[in-house]
Chain A
Amino acid sequence: MSALAGVVWPLPCDGQVSSGATIGGRVIETETGAGLAGVVVSLEGFDLAALTDEEGRYRLTDVPTGRHVLRAQRIGFAVARVPITVPADGALTRDIELSVSALRMDEITVTADAVSRAEGELGTASVIEREAIEHLTATSLAGVLQLVPGVATQAPGLDDLEQVALRSVPTGSSLFATSSDAGVSRTSADLSAFGTLIVLDGVPLSNNANLQSLGPRGGDDGQLLNFVTSANGGVDLRRLPAATIERVEVIRGIPSVRYGDLTHGAIIVETRAAPVAPIAEAKLDERTVETSLVGGRTLGGPGNTATLTFDYARTQVEPGASDDASSRFAGQLAHRLELGHRANDAGLRRPRFSLDTRFDVFRLVDDRPENPNVRPDRSLRSRDLGIRLSERARLWLGEDSRLSFTGSISRVEQESRSRAPKVSGVQPFTSATTEGRNEGFYIGGFYTAEVELDGTPWLGFGRLEWEDRTAWLGADHELIAGIELRREWNDGAGFQFDPQFPPSIGFDGVSGYDRPRTFDEIPAVANSAIYVGDRVRANAGDWPLTVQAGVRLDVLHDGESWLSGSRDAVVQPRVSAELSPSRRLRLRGGWGRTAKTPALGDLYPPPQYFDLVNVNFFANDPVERLAVLTTFIRDPTNPDLGLSTGTKLDVGFEWDLGDGTIALTAFRDRVAGAVGIASVPDFITRDAFALTDSITGNGIKPEIILPAISTDSVPILVDRPDQILDQVNRGLELTAALPRIDPLATQVYVTGSWIETETTSDARFFGSSSAFSSFQRSQTQTRAPYWEGFTERGESMLLLYRLIHHQPDLGLVATLTVQHNAVDRVEDVVAVDTLSFAGYVTRGGELIAVPPERRGDPEFADLRVSRTGRVLARQGARPDWMAHLQVSKSLPLDGQLRVWVFNFADRRGREFEADRIGRLYPPVRFGAEVTFPSARFFDR
Chain B
Amino acid sequence: MARLATKRSKRVRLVCMGGIAASACGGEAGFSGPPEGGGNDLRPGLTVHVGIPPAAGSIASTLGWSGGVPGAEVRIHRFETDFSWTTVVTDENGFANFPTSISGRYRVAAFRPFTASERQVTGSDILALGAGDFREVGVQTQVDLVPGVTSPHGLVISEIYATAPSPAEVQYDFHMFFEVYNNSDRVLFLDGVLFGTMQGIPQWSGTAPCAESEPFRSDPGGVWAHFLHEFPGSGSEHPIGPGEVRLVALDAIDHSTIDARFPDLSGADFELFGPGDVDNPDAANVGEVGLEPYFSGHGLRYFISHTLFLAAPRDVTSFETGILQAFGEEFVRVPAAAILDVISTLEDDALEDQRMEWCDEFVHPSFDQLGGGFIKHQTDLGLSVQRLVVDASGQRILQDTNTSAVDLIKAPYTPGWIP
User: Can you name 14 A-B pairs with beta carbons within 8 Å?
Assistant: A425-B276, A426-B251, A427-B277, A427-B297, A618-B253, A619-B280, A768-B292, A771-B291, A773-B275, A774-B292, A867-B328, A868-B328, A870-B328, A914-B209
Question: Known: A866-B328, A872-B325. Is A425-B277 also a contact (CB below 8 A)?
Answer: yes
Q: Does A506 contact B (CB under 8 A)?
A: yes
Measured between beta carbons, the chain A residues less than 8 angstroms from B278 are: 425-428, 442, 444, 616, 618
- Cα A634 to Cα B179 in complex, Å, equals 44
Question: Known: A506-B296, A507-B297, A866-B323. Is A620-B254 also a contact (CB below 8 A)?
Answer: yes
Measured between beta carbons, the chain B residues less than 8 angstroms from A428 are: 278
Q: Does B208 contact A (CB under 8 A)?
A: yes
Chain A 864-877, CB within 8 Å of chain B: the 1/0 string?
Answer: 01111110100000
By beta carbon, the residue of chain B nearest A869 is B328
Flag if A771 contacts B292 (CB, 8 Å). Answer: yes
Chain A 773-792, CB within 8 Å of chain B: the 1/0 string?
Answer: 11011000000000000000
8 Å CB contacts to A: which residues of B121-179?
Answer: 167, 169-172, 174
Chain A 505-520, CB within 8 Å of chain B: the 1/0 string?
Answer: 0111110000000000
Task: Kindly identify which residue among A618, A768, A832, A870 contacts B280, using a CB–CB cutoff of 8 Å.
Answer: A618
Task: Kindly identify which residue among A421, A425, A770 contacts B170, using a CB–CB cutoff of 8 Å.
Answer: A421
- Cα A508 to Cα B293 in complex, Å, equals 10
Tell me the dominant secondary structure on chain B's binding face.
Answer: loop
Please give the residue numbers on chain B whose beta carbons come within 8 Å of chain A beta carbons, in ascending order.
Answer: 167, 169-172, 174, 205, 208-209, 212, 250-251, 253-254, 257-259, 266, 274-282, 288, 291-298, 323, 325-326, 328-330
By beta carbon, the residue of chain A nearest B317 is A862
Question: How near does chain A come to B325, taking the closest CB pair, in angstroms?
Answer: 7
Q: Which of A506, A508, A617, A770 counts the most B-chain CB atoms under 10 A from its CB? A: A770
Measured between beta carbons, the chain A residues less than 8 angstroms from B282 are: 619-620, 696
Q: Does A694 contact B (CB under 8 A)?
A: yes
Task: Kindly identify which residue among B275, B281, B329 contacts A777, using a CB–CB cutoff of 8 Å.
Answer: B275
Please give the residue numbers on chain A whose beta carbons come within 8 Å of chain B beta carbons, in ascending order.
Answer: 223, 375-376, 421-423, 425-428, 442, 444-446, 506-510, 616-620, 694, 696, 768, 770-771, 773-774, 776-777, 832, 865-870, 872, 914
Measured between beta carbons, the chain B residues less than 8 angstroms from A617 are: 279, 281
Task: Kindly identify which residue among B208, B276, B277, B297 contacts A914, using a CB–CB cutoff of 8 Å.
Answer: B208
Flag if A422 contacts B170 (CB, 8 Å). Answer: yes
Measured between beta carbons, the chain B residues less than 8 angstroms from A773 are: 275, 292-293, 297
By beta carbon, the residue of chain A nearest B271 is A618
- Cα A421 to Cα B170 in complex, Å, equals 7
Question: How near does chain B come to A660, taking the closest CB pair, in angstroms?
Answer: 49
Flag if A868 contacts B329 (CB, 8 Å). Answer: yes
Question: How near does chain B come to A221, taking the closest CB pair, in angstroms?
Answer: 9
Measured between beta carbons, the chain A residues less than 8 angstroms from B280 are: 618-620
Can you list the 9 inter-chain pairs with the closest CB atoms, starting with the nearest?
A: A445-B258, A425-B174, A507-B276, A426-B278, A616-B279, A770-B292, A421-B170, A508-B275, A509-B275
Task: Kindly identify which residue among B170, B292, B325 contacts A446, using a CB–CB cutoff of 8 Å.
Answer: B170
- Cα A832 to Cα B327 in complex, Å, equals 12
Question: How near does chain A come to B293, taking the closest CB pair, in angstroms?
Answer: 5
With A445-B258, A618-B281 already in contact, 9 other A-B pairs whose C-beta atoms are closer than 8 Å? A425-B298, A426-B253, A427-B277, A427-B278, A427-B297, A444-B278, A617-B279, A619-B280, A696-B281
- Cα A620 to Cα B279 in complex, Å, equals 10
- Cα A725 to Cα B172 in complex, Å, equals 40
- Cα A616 to Cα B273 in complex, Å, equals 12
- Cα A378 to Cα B22 in complex, Å, equals 63
Measured between beta carbons, the chain B residues less than 8 angstroms from A774 are: 275, 288, 292-293
- Cα A423 to Cα B292 in complex, Å, equals 23
Measured between beta carbons, the chain B residues less than 8 angstroms from A446 are: 170, 172, 258-259
Flag if B275 contacts A423 (CB, 8 Å). Answer: no
Flag if B296 contacts A425 (CB, 8 Å). Answer: yes
Flag if B172 contacts A508 (CB, 8 Å). Answer: no
- Cα A445 to Cα B278 in complex, Å, equals 12
Flag if B174 contacts A868 (CB, 8 Å). Answer: no
- Cα A619 to Cα B267 in complex, Å, equals 11
- Cα A620 to Cα B174 in complex, Å, equals 16
Measured between beta carbons, the chain A residues less than 8 angstroms from B209 are: 914
Q: Which of A425, A444, A832, A865 counts the most B-chain CB atoms under 10 A from its CB? A: A425
Question: Known: A508-B276, A768-B292. Is A376-B174 also a contact (CB below 8 A)?
Answer: no
Measured between beta carbons, the chain A residues less than 8 angstroms from B276 are: 425, 427, 506-509
- Cα A869 to Cα B208 in complex, Å, equals 16
Flag if A868 contacts B167 (CB, 8 Å). Answer: no
- Cα A618 to Cα B253 in complex, Å, equals 8
Question: How near does chain B come to A715, taking the closest CB pair, in angstroms?
Answer: 14
- Cα A422 to Cα B174 in complex, Å, equals 13
Question: How near does chain A come to B151, taking the closest CB pair, in angstroms?
Answer: 39
Question: How near does chain B come to A502, taking the closest CB pair, in angstroms?
Answer: 13
- Cα A109 to Cα B333 in complex, Å, equals 67
Measured between beta carbons, the chain B residues less than 8 angstroms from A422 are: 170
Task: Kindly identify which residue among A444, A694, A770, A870 contacts B293, using a CB–CB cutoff of 8 Å.
Answer: A770
Measured between beta carbons, the chain A residues less than 8 angstroms from B325 are: 872
Flag if B326 contacts A914 (CB, 8 Å). Answer: yes
Flag if B293 contacts A618 (CB, 8 Å). Answer: no
Measured between beta carbons, the chain B residues less than 8 angstroms from A426 are: 174, 251, 253, 278
- Cα A806 to Cα B406 in complex, Å, equals 74
Flag if A510 contacts B253 (CB, 8 Å). Answer: no
Measured between beta carbons, the chain B residues less than 8 angstroms from A776 are: 275
- Cα A694 to Cα B281 in complex, Å, equals 8
Flag if B275 contacts A510 (CB, 8 Å). Answer: yes
Measured between beta carbons, the chain B residues less than 8 angstroms from A620 are: 253-254, 266, 280, 282
- Cα A830 to Cα B292 in complex, Å, equals 22
By beta carbon, the residue of chain A nearest B208 is A914
Question: How near does chain B come to A732, taking the closest CB pair, in angstroms?
Answer: 34
By beta carbon, the residue of chain A nearest B174 is A425
Flag if B296 contacts A376 (CB, 8 Å). Answer: no
Q: Which of B279, B291, B326 counts the most A-chain CB atoms under 10 A from its CB? A: B279
Question: How near does chain A come to B277, taking the closest CB pair, in angstroms?
Answer: 7
Question: How near does chain A come to B3, taking the closest CB pair, in angstroms?
Answer: 25
Q: Which of B251, B257, B274 counts the most A-chain CB atoms under 10 A from its CB? A: B274
Measured between beta carbons, the chain A residues less than 8 angstroms from B208 are: 914
By beta carbon, the residue of chain B nearest A179 is B328
- Cα A375 to Cα B166 in complex, Å, equals 10
Flag if A865 contacts B298 (CB, 8 Å). Answer: no
Question: How near does chain A come to B287, taking the closest CB pair, in angstroms?
Answer: 10
- Cα A919 to Cα B348 in complex, Å, equals 31
- Cα A696 to Cα B253 in complex, Å, equals 14
Question: How near does chain B come to A51, taking the closest CB pair, in angstroms?
Answer: 67
By beta carbon, the residue of chain A nearest B330 is A866
Question: Known: A506-B296, A872-B328. Is A445-B281 also a contact (CB below 8 A)?
Answer: no
Q: Which of A620, A771, A832, A866 counts the most B-chain CB atoms under 10 A from its CB? A: A620
Question: How near does chain A come to B196, taking the closest CB pair, in angstroms?
Answer: 16
- Cα A506 to Cα B298 in complex, Å, equals 11
By beta carbon, the residue of chain B nearest A445 is B258
Question: How near does chain B come to A717, taking the closest CB pair, in angstroms?
Answer: 15
Question: Known: A442-B278, A618-B279. Is A509-B297 also a contact (CB below 8 A)?
Answer: yes
Measured between beta carbons, the chain A residues less than 8 angstroms from B323 are: 866
Q: Which of A423, A696, A866, A867 counts the most B-chain CB atoms under 10 A from its CB? A: A423
Question: Known: A508-B275, A510-B275. Is A223-B169 also a contact (CB below 8 A)?
Answer: yes
Question: How near does chain A come to B191, taking the closest CB pair, in angstroms?
Answer: 19
By beta carbon, the residue of chain B nearest A376 is B167
Question: How near does chain B come to A373, taking the closest CB pair, in angstroms?
Answer: 10
Measured between beta carbons, the chain A residues less than 8 angstroms from B169 are: 223, 375, 421
Question: How near does chain B come to A178, taking the closest CB pair, in angstroms?
Answer: 14
Question: How near does chain A come to B258, taking the closest CB pair, in angstroms?
Answer: 4
- Cα A601 to Cα B170 in complex, Å, equals 31
Measured between beta carbons, the chain A residues less than 8 angstroms from B172 are: 423, 445-446
By beta carbon, the residue of chain B nearest A618 is B278
By beta carbon, the residue of chain B nearest A507 is B276
Flag if B171 contacts A423 (CB, 8 Å). Answer: yes
Measured between beta carbons, the chain B residues less than 8 angstroms from A914 are: 205, 208-209, 212, 326
Flag if A619 contacts B292 (CB, 8 Å). Answer: no
